[in-house]
A and B are shown apart, each in its own frame.
Chain A
Amino acid sequence: MIDYEVNVFDRVYRKVAPMCAKGKFVSVYVPDPTAFPAGSLMELTNRTVRKRQSSTPIENFAVVMYQLDIYAKTKAEARSVLNAADDEMISMGFTRVGGDYLDNSDNVNIFRYTARYEAEIDREGNIYRIS
């Protein structure tokens, strides 16, 4: 399986973690962050690209989708963290396929921004934009 989640997360983490509360930028879903700003970046989908498969017994390309969630007390705070994360994702070669202020369903006083990114990754970890 083509798995570069750690590399992608690590690159965004280095940029974004200092802007978040201590230890609150993570790669798993945390339902109860105890401090803000907080965020998560997770690989939600990882599929083999069928048309790029050959007869060799390896996976050549995978299409991956990441979801970025930012939680903050103010919109400005959420936006600054989001911009830092987004710049890093775009510079890696991802395409933002969606981005919205979604309600934080249980506590609407917390700003929540959700964005999704997709790209194709080859076996060596090179990232390609999906046309």
Chain B
Amino acid sequence: MGKIIFKEIKMTLDPESIQHAIDDVRNLNTDLQMALDALCESLLKDGVMIARLNLRRYFTKGDGANKGNLLRSIRYEMANGKSGEGYLMAGYPNDHMSDNPLYSNVSYAVFFEFGFGTSNHYRQDGSRINSSKAYNVLKSQGLVARSEGRTSDHPSKKGKYRPSKEYKMIENAQGGQFRGWVYKDRWTGKFYTVRGGQPPKPFMYNTLLDLMDKAQRNGADIIAEYLPGGGAY
């Protein structure tokens, strides 16, 4: 772990010297804020790459999310007006990006991290649900189409792609059963589903640990670059 050496600020009781010292402290404060911003941004940039790598570790063949939408949603933002603060994010909390073909709907990111909970194969009383039968009933009502790998029968309205709303309809129709996320692969034009019954995959937690490790090892060097007269060892 590196240590930071600060520039020495000396003063005598001479008013001019005191004023110099005050200016030096103010400059140091500004430099430190810039250094923290730089450190934060450097960590977040690395964080995006690390989070994507961590996420890839969990992908398996045939996994619907292996098409890049969740990967592409990993991004960072610096906090407005707050020095040395920023956010590393995955997915989108609401469906406001659902219409964006680039990002599609990745509100399931939190479920990737913490797990999807129980799958829909059993009712609360323990009896098994025939999900394919439920699916066919809904399909006959025009509420859903089997989306895996198909291009033509997705129930979009007015040519607009609204996956999560369609799935909420399914949820209501089945009294809380059968829920999932569907998105369109922008390269192939096919639809894929992300369904429940998956274990937690803590890609963001592991990224946090990686970044804490990185900050301890390299943080001092980055901060020292912004401190004239100072350094790190």
A: which residues have CB within 8 A of B? 29-36, 38, 42, 44-45, 47, 50-51, 63, 65, 67, 69, 71, 73, 100, 102-110, 112, 114, 116
Contact = CB atoms under 8 A, between A and B. Distances in A.
The 3 closest A-B pairs by CB, nearest first: A106-B196, A106-B120, A104-B117
B177 A105 contact: no
B108 interface: yes
Contact of A110 (B118, B175, B205): B118
B213 A50 contact: yes
Contacts of B114: 67, 100, 102, 114
Interface of B: 1, 108, 110-111, 114-122, 124, 126, 171, 175-180, 195-200, 202, 205-206, 209, 213, 216
B213 A105 contact: no
Given A105-B111, A108-B179, A109-B176, A69 B124 contact: no
B57 to A, nearest CB: 12
Given A36-B124, A109-B176, A104 B118 contact: yes
Given A32-B122, A107-B177, A112 B117 contact: yes
Given A31-B119, A31-B197, A69-B117, A106 B180 contact: yes
Contacts of A100: 114
10 contacts: A31-B119, A31-B196, A32-B197, A65-B205, A73-B124, A103-B111, A105-B196, A107-B177, A108-B176, A110-B124
